[in-house]
């Protein structure tokens, strides 16, 4: 249909031009006096050039051509001007019809291309305006530690609760900032384990009425020494998602400036953890430390401890559970699972746009928030994580947040292209979910690992867990796959209840060749269109103006829903993210990908 329309426009333009140049010559346009950029100056209706007055009764300049030819007039500065001049010279010099036809066809073709480009520019401009509106809407709220009296840069300013968990490099505890002024009765229940240490809430109170909206991550310091500057530089990857105020330098914090070529600072995003405060302090004896990680303690706290006396502390929001814990107690529907996968793609796309690769994506490093209103509203009591995670949010879908950036690649000097000169270069964590281009890379002079689509591959593997199946790269036995050697045909099929477009997308994310995988932005747009754009996808001949009309409808509906509801539901927040990261080209790629899948047998 598009080719037929283009041919029809070409015939109309060609007929008008032939009528003009086969007519008797007159003073309508003085070809010998036309200056650059060419004779097209006298073809447009709106364009006027100073010059001698036309003879009485002469035809006004630019009449006799359709309005659509203004697109051809706009390209006079380049090839169109030269084609027009050559066409005019051949028309005046009596050149053969073949030569005139060639230049006429080229000129008409260029006019049609210019028309399509103008339509694309209008669509891109509309997308940019929509993006600007929703970028302001998606700005992060104020940090919870903004207080004149409680700055949050000392460990003594927090009340520490029970242990949330521990990994290979840190232990995480729930925490809170006491109310000011502090309740005397409550203060009597707090005890200090060290001379200058954090207040620790008794075990009974953490189970009863205490609410801990924060979490403190205590890094294990084995090799960084006890210098605050050395600790911050050695553990700089943990500071990538830190806010600007996290290292503002107050109350004992060491000023930390990222050197040129050092780690990047990640801009805020709703699907990525935010570090509110980061500081160094002496290692305290926290609850469960002697049992959970005695070897990581300094010798002053444990005789066989190997740790240094000072380490890094990170203050973040407290989330009820991880994605692995949530999926152990809940079975989301295919639609909710699709929205959960979409959130991971949105987070990964933000990382790629910032030139950062996480390199350790897994369900244990993804946190779940159940009350996903603007600004959080998490239940906060992580001690009953399993029971809390079983309770759905208002619209039934949890909010996912990517955390643990200890293995990330965030070097300003190299971006996402890691030089792989030797086998000692760190390729990241979690070897099971390491993309094929990373796991099969061979070190050598000039070797480079491209991480631009490595995290999106990991999202494809995690999608199996979200849709209720075991991760094929975790399982044991005949069904176990390895990223080094698997073939796409070996990937297990997702349940038939999962939409066909989603099944195809997950398989495309797990393509062995990175060049065949869609980018995180295109993949996210595919799910956005599948979830909320079924009407626009049903059109056989989808045009840019129709797509822009649909985007405007979505924008108006999203703004209205966000204003009427006290707390934005997950769907509204996802739509706002989609509109805030709107790119016309990526959206068209997603639409074409969906049309190709649906057209395939």
The alpha helices in 500-583, defined as continuous H runs, are: 500-509, 520-532, 534-537, 544-564, 570-580
| Residue 474 contacts residue 484 (beta carbons within 8 Å) | no
Q: What is the pLDDT of residue 199?
A: 72
What mean pLDDT, rounded, does the chain reach? Answer: 77
Q: Residue 214: is its pLDDT beyond 90?
A: yes
Q: Among all chains, which residue has been given the structure tokens 């240094």?
A: 308
Output b/e per residue, 233-270; b: 16+ Cβ within 10 A: bbbbbbbbbbbebbbbeeeebeebebeeeebbbbeebb
pLDDT greater at residue 97 or residue 322: 322
Query: Sorting pLDDT into bands at 50, 70 and 90, what band is 131?
Result: confident
Averaged pLDDT for residues 92-115 = 53
Q: What is the pLDDT of residue 291?
A: 93
Instruction: Give pLDDT tens digits for 494-521.
Output: 999 999 999 999 999 999 999 999 999 9
Q: Among all chains, which residue has been given the structure tokens 């792989």?
A: 420
Q: What is the pLDDT of residue 253?
A: 52
Least trusted range by pLDDT, from 262-276, 283-297, 305-319, 442-456: 262-276
Q: Residue 540: is its pLDDT beyond 50?
A: yes
Q: What is the pLDDT of residue 30?
A: 39
| Residue 313 contacts residue 280 (beta carbons within 8 Å) | yes
pLDDT greater at residue 90 or residue 601: 601
Q: What is the pLDDT of residue 78?
A: 53
Residue ranges per structural domain of the chain: 2-125, 155-318, 324-599
Candidates 317, 335, 336, 313; CA nearest to 326 is 336
Fold topology of 324-599:
Transferase(Phosphotransferase); domain 1 (1.10.510)
Q: Residue 204: is its pLDDT beyond 80?
A: no
Query: Sorting pLDDT into bands at 50, 70 and 90, what band is 102?
Result: low
Q: What backbone phi and psi angles, to 5 degrees, belong to 69?
A: -75, 0
Q: What is the pLDDT of residue 536?
A: 87
Instruction: Give pLDDT tens digits for 1-20.
Output: 554 555 555 556 555 554 55
Q: What is the pLDDT of residue 538?
A: 85
CA–CA separation, 214 and 102 (whole Å): 72
Q: Residue 529: is its pLDDT beyond 80?
A: yes
Instruction: Give pLDDT tens digits for 340-388.
Output: 999 999 999 999 999 999 999 999 999 999 865 444 433 333 333 433 4
Q: What is the pLDDT of residue 99?
A: 53
Count Cα atoms within 13 angstroms, Cβ side, for 557: 11
Q: What is the pLDDT of residue 26?
A: 42
Q: Residue 484: is its pLDDT beyond 70?
A: yes
Q: What is the pLDDT of residue 386?
A: 38
Least trusted range by pLDDT, from 42-51, 105-114, 149-158, 505-514: 42-51
CA–CA separation, 410 and 567 (whole Å): 34
Q: Tally Cβ neighbours within 10 Å of residue 185.
A: 7
Instruction: Give pLDDT tens digits for 551-577.
Output: 999 999 888 887 776 556 889 999 999
Query: Sorting pLDDT into bands at 50, 70 and 90, what band is 327?
Result: very high
Q: Among all chains, which residue has been given the structure tokens 């100073």?
A: 50
Q: What is the pLDDT of residue 126?
A: 81
Residues annotated catalytic, as ranges: 360
Q: What is the pLDDT of residue 160?
A: 93
Averaged pLDDT for residues 147-167 = 84
Query: Sorting pLDDT into bands at 50, 70 and 90, what band is 151?
Result: confident
Least trusted range by pLDDT, from 34-38, 144-148, 399-403, 454-458: 34-38
Which 3-state string (H, E, C) describes 437-486? HHHCCCCCCCCEEECCCHHHHHHHHHHHHHCCCCCCCCCCHHHCCCCCCC
């Amino acid at each position: 249909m598009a080719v037929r329309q283009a041919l029809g426009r070409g015939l109309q333009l060609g007929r008008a031009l032939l009528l003009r140049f086969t007519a008797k010559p007159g003073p309508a346009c003085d070809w010998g006096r036309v200056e650059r950029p060419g004779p097209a100056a006298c073809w447009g209706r709106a364009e006027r050039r100073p010059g001698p007055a036309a003879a009485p009764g002469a035809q006004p300049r630019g009449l006799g051509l359709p309005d659509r030819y203004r697109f051809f007039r706009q390209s006079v500065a380049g090839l169109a001007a030269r084609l027009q001049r050559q066409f005019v010279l051949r028309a005046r010099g009596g050149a053969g019809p073949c030569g005139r036809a060639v230049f006429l066809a080229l000129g008409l073709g260029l006019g049609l291309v210019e028309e399509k480009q103008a339509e694309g520019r209008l669509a891109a401009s509309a997308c940019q305006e929509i993006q600007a509106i929703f970028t302001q809407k998606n700005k992060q709220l104020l940090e919870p530690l903004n207080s004149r009296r409680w700055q949050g840069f000392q460990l003594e300013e927090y009340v520490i609760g029970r242990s949330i968990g521990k990994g290979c490099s840190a232990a995480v505890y729930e925490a809170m900032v006491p109310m000011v002024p502090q309740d005397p009765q409550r203060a009597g229940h707090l005890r200090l384990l060290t001379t200058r240490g954090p207040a620790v809430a008794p075990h009974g109170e953490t189970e009863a009425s205490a609410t801990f909206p924060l979490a403190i991550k205590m890094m294990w310091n084995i090799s960084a020494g006890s210098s605050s500057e050395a600790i911050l530089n050695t553990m700089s990857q943990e500071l990538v998602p830190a806010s600007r105020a996290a290292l503002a330098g107050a109350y004992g914090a060491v000023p930390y400036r990222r050197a040129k070529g050092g780690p990047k600072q990640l801009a805020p995003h709703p699907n990525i953890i935010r570090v509110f405060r980061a500081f160094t302090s002496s290692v305290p004896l926290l609850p469960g430390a002697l049992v959970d990680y005695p070897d990581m303690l300094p010798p002053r706290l444990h005789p066989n401890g190997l740790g240094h006396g000072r380490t890094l502390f990170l203050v973040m929001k407290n989330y009820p559970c991880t994605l692995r814990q949530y999926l152990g107690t809940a079975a989301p529907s295919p639609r909710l699972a699709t929205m959960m996968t979409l959130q991971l793609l949105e987070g990964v796309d933000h990382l790629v746009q910032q030139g950062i690769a996480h390199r350790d994506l897994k369900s244990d490093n993804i946190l779940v928030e159940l009350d996903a209103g603007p600004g959080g509203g998490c239940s906060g009591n992580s001690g009953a994580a399993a029971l809390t995670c079983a309770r759905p949010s208002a619209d039934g879908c949890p909010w996912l947040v990517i955390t643990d950036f200890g293995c990330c690649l965030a070097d300003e000097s190299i971006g996402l292209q890691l030089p792989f000169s030797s086998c000692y270069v760190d390729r990241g964590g979690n070897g099971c979910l390491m993309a094929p281009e990373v796991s099969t890379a061979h070190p050598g002079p000039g070797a480079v690992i491209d991480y631009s689509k490595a995290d999106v591959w990991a999202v494809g593997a995690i999608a199996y867990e979200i849709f209720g199946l075991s991760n094929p790269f975790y399982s044991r036995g005949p069904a176990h796959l390895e990223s080094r050697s698997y073939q796409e045909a070996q990937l297990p099929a997702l349940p038939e209840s999962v939409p066909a477009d989603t099944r195809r997308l997950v398989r495309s994310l797990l393509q062995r060749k990175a060049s065949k995988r869609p980018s995180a932005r295109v993949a996210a747009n595919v799910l956005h269109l599948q979830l909320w754009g079924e009407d626009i996808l049903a059109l056989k001949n989808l045009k840019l103006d129709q797509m822009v009309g649909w985007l405007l409808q979505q924008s108006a509906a999203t703004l209205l829903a966000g204003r009427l509801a006290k707390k934005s539901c997950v769907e509204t927040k996802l739509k706002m993210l989609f509109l805030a990261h709107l790119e016309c080209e990526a959206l068209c790629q997603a639409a074409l990908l969906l049309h190709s899948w649906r057209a395939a047998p």
